[in-house]
Structure 1
Amino acid sequence: MSAATDAPTTIYSAPPQHRLVEGVATDGQTIWLSSVLDRTILICRAGADASMAMPAGTLHPMGLAWDARRNWLWIATDCPDLPGVAKCESGALVAVDRKGRLKAKVSPGPGFHPGDVSTANGEVFVSDGLNGAVYRPRGRQLDPLIAPGVARSAQGTALTADGRHLVVADYGRGIATVDLKTKARTLLPMAGDKPLRGLDGLVRVGEEYYAIHNGSSPGSLVRFRINGAQIDVAVVQRGAPLADPTQLVRDGNRLLIVADAGWPGASKPDQPPRGADTLVAFPFP
């Protein structure tokens, strides 16, 4: 199988005031990053850096995904359990246009705490890291593909190449697929019936899937294929520069990865600050 074997390069180093950067999205020209604590979207375009504030009435930005069909940036918003962040009953999935104007805001109600969002073929998927649920918008409602409590901690999602199933990285249960018609959920272990736990961001590239493993420190970039009822897994990169990796996105012939998000420093102020390698690129062979 192919792999991103060339040395990674630093694409962007967020200014120190943006202490926690979580999500990343791109349309092939513009790159968006979510600065969680200050409720800001960082914008990188052709060497010029800018930012836009989250719309009034929205929470802290987490995962991001660009919707090429609508020309919207979808944002999972919530109130993460961090010093200085006010608690909330529910987060929301929101969408903004390129100028930061609010276009959509949906939530299934209290207890919804989204962290990751993905888009493909005009579909949008959002996952809840606290109760394992996965939803897709249907009008002004969120349709549950995985109901709350069925799984444990849903993270990244990716549509299969045939568009029939959604691959879900559950932090505690491992990789699963969901049939988009029947909503049947199937766990896909590694060889030996072992689950691949500790995955965060997820993206499909052809028939392969790349994911961030941050269940241990330092983090890793892993790649897997679905082979029948199990997955074949390989480690592409372990350790530097993946000090505290979270999300990733495909950008043409490379992967863009939030390599040092800053969660330890945001959770415990006495921890070292986020490093310079906020966003790095791994080129495909």
Structure 2
Amino acid sequence: MMPKLKLFVLLLISTFGFAQTKALYEKSVEAYKSKDYVQFLKLAKQLDSIRPAHPTFTYNLASAYALNGQKEEALLVLKRMVLANNTVPFENDSDFESIKNDNGFKELLQLKVFQSKTIKNSIEKLRLSEKDLHPEGLFYLEKQKLWLSSSIRNKKIVSFDASGKCSDWFTDCLYSVFALKADHDQKYLWVVCSAIPEMNGFTKVLDGKSEILKIDISSKKLIKRYTIEGNHVFGDIAVAKNNDVFISDSAEPIIYKIENDNLILWKDLRNQAFNLQGITFNKNESKLFIADYLKGICVLDIKTKKEHWLEFPNEVSKKGIDGLVFYKNSLIAIENGVVPIRIMRYKLNDSETKIIDFTVLDNNREEFNEPALAALVHDKLYFFANSPWKFYDKNFQLDESKFENPKLFELDLEKPLSKF
């Protein structure tokens, strides 16, 4: 997961430029105040295209449509906003006076209530003994019957047993450890690490540094560090059966690959993506699915590198996807950038080009604050429900009095589901 405090600034700089976007926003405010609603709508559309799913830009776009008498468009944008955050209090805003009596507006109020319903399908399995670990990724070494967890805060990998007792497994990490994946034979563990303020020992000179570690599992010895210049936050990794390794970058929307034992830029998505997160293969490993925190899910053909974006049903939000796992022609998505936090299953068509159905697996759980990456073990999904991203102060010190020990949850994907 990309640290939220950095996300907005990075997006503005990488997509259009912070100064230009700020200037456009100020012009839109001036147009609104002077009641030049035609200009307000024009600028609101431009801002929404620059930075989709931004709370303020989305709200202002809905307002601009309503003030220009474009009721249907206003309701569609409001629905998009409610699906992403059902706590936004738009009901009494006079900007929407023209649509308050419409059935569509009343349905949105019902949708806000519906989105708050609790769905519980996953269960807590254990709690880790190391409270300040701040786990993100995890992986199960099946040959060794051993669980591994990454640590954002303490820059290491720990193993843990059935009671949750943690033991240091690998500590020669320079930066926060995000994701862990082993090769098909579980000979090597591939690890993505990035320097962020939440880690112990962070200094500004380290900002933007990232690396990939290749570790021999049996000996726990480091085989190689892969580094690249620039400003990066390597967030997730996918390792193919043929040992191809792909990495998503959250600081810049680029997919990297380890090829001929070198870390290379494999696919540049800067012209269309914003903030890359979870990455996963389809079953035959002919495609990569990559979550974008703002735009949804990108599909990349491994051979041609051609991409397309999955269309989402109108009843769900494409915003806020972090962890992403492929399972039986479906994508399991952990959505922690929406309110409330939820876990979704998106069923794909046979050609894996379109979402044809969806299921809410978990929704509005009080334990979720906030889940990120996930590990699939046979038919069960595992994830940490309570990574303490929100409990760092302005100096990035972690207040342990505000959260509980890391909770590992299990979601049986073959078990009959509870619903609203």
The one-letter code of the counterpart of 2:135 is: V
Report the equivalent of 1:264.
390
TM-superposition CA deviations, 1:137-173 (whole Å, max 9, x none): 1023224342162321111111112321101111122
Find the structure with the greater CA-based Rg. 2
The one-letter code of the counterpart of 2:362 is: Q
TM-superposition CA deviations, 1:218-277 (whole Å, max 9, x none): 521111122364323321101323221011111223111111111111355468633235
Report the equivalent of 1:179.
301
Whether 1:230 and 2:370 are equivalent positions in the alignment is: no
Report the equivalent of 2:252.
131
Q: How far apart, in 1, do the equivalents of 2:153 and 2:306 lie?
A: 37
Q: How far apart, in 2, do the equivalents of 1:172 and 1:27 lie?
A: 32
Q: How far apart, in 2, do the equivalents of 1:103 and 1:244 lie?
A: 33
The total of aligned residue pairs comes to 280
Report the equivalent of 1:239.
364
Report the equivalent of 2:407.
278
What TM-score, normalized by structure 2, do the two folds share? 0.61
Match of residue 120, structure 1, among 208, 216, 240: 240
Q: How far apart, in 2, do the equivalents of 1:273 and 1:5 lie?
A: 24
Indicate conservation of the 8 Å contact 1:133/1:147, yes or no. yes
In terms of fraction of residues, the more strand-rich structure is: 1
2:392 partner SS: helix
Q: How far apart, in 2, do the equivalents of 1:148 and 1:191 lie?
A: 24
Q: How far apart, in 2, do the equivalents of 1:270 and 1:43 lie?
A: 24
Match of residue 61, structure 1, among 177, 189, 194: 177
**Aligned residue runs from structure 1 range 178-197, under 5 A:** 178-192=300-314, 196-197=318-319
What are structure 1's unaligned runs of at least 5 residues? none
CA pair 45-67 structure 1, distance change in 2 beyond 3 A: farther
**Aligned residue runs from structure 1 range 93-108, under 5 A:** 93-98=212-217, 99-108=219-228
Quote how far apart the aligned CAs of 1:51 are. Answer: 1.4
Report the equivalent of 1:40.
156
Q: Please say which of residues 22-31 and 266-275 is displaced more in the overlay.
A: 266-275
Indicate conservation of the 8 Å contact 1:174/1:199, yes or no. yes
The one-letter code of the counterpart of 1:15 is: E
2:172 partner SS: coil
4+ residue runs of structure 1 moved beyond 4 angstroms?
A: 4-7, 192-195, 267-272
1:264 partner SS: helix
Report the equivalent of 1:199.
321
User: What percentage of aligned pairs have identical amino acids?
Assistant: 21
Whether 1:92 and 2:211 are equivalent positions in the alignment is: yes
What TM-score, normalized by structure 1, do the two folds share? 0.87
Q: How far apart, in 2, do the equivalents of 1:68 and 1:14 lie?
A: 30
Indicate conservation of the 8 Å contact 1:173/1:195, yes or no. no
Report the equivalent of 2:123.
8
CA pair 139-237 structure 1, distance change in 2 beyond 3 A: same
Whether 1:111 and 2:240 are equivalent positions in the alignment is: no
Q: How far apart, in 2, do the equivalents of 1:17 and 1:43 lie?
A: 15
In terms of fraction of residues, the more helix-rich structure is: 2
Report the equivalent of 1:252.
378
2:289 partner SS: strand
2:132 partner SS: coil
Indicate conservation of the 8 Å contact 2:193/2:211, yes or no. yes
Q: How far apart, in 2, do the equivalents of 1:163 and 1:100 lie?
A: 28
Select the structure with the greater relative contact order (CA < 8 A; seq sep ≥ 6): 1
TM-superposition CA deviations, 1:175-205 (whole Å, max 9, x none): 0100111111111121249861210111111
CA pair 5-37 structure 1, distance change in 2 beyond 3 A: closer
Q: How far apart, in 2, do the equivalents of 1:267 and 1:203 lie?
A: 32
2:232 partner SS: coil
CA pair 191-219 structure 1, distance change in 2 beyond 3 A: closer
Q: How far apart, in 2, do the equivalents of 1:199 and 1:49 lie?
A: 28
TM-superposition CA deviations, 1:86-140 (whole Å, max 9, x none): 2324201112123431122213322232011122323322110111111221023
CA pair 91-156 structure 1, distance change in 2 beyond 3 A: same
Report the equivalent of 1:51.
168
Q: Please say which of residues 247-256 and 224-233 is displaced more in the overlay.
A: 224-233
Quote how far apart the aligned CAs of 1:44 are. Answer: 1.7
Q: How far apart, in 2, do the equivalents of 1:188 and 1:217 lie?
A: 22
